Amino acid sequence: MKEKINEFIIFCIEVYKEKEDKTGKEIYNLFKEHDVFAFLEEHYDVLHTQGKAYIVETITDFIETDK
How much is the average pLDDT of 25-49?
97
**Does the structure show a pLDDT above 70 at 12?**
yes
For the chain, state the CA radius of gyration: 11
Domain count within the chain: 1
Domain extent at residue 28: 2-66
**Does the structure show a pLDDT above 90 at 67?**
no
Report DSSP state, residue 22.
-
For CA atoms 9, 15, 59, 50, the dihedral sign is negative
**Nearest alpha carbon to residue 33 among 15, 59, 11:** 59
How much is the average pLDDT of 28-57?
96
5 vs 20, 40, 47, CA distance in Å?
22, 8, 10
Strands (E), the chain: none
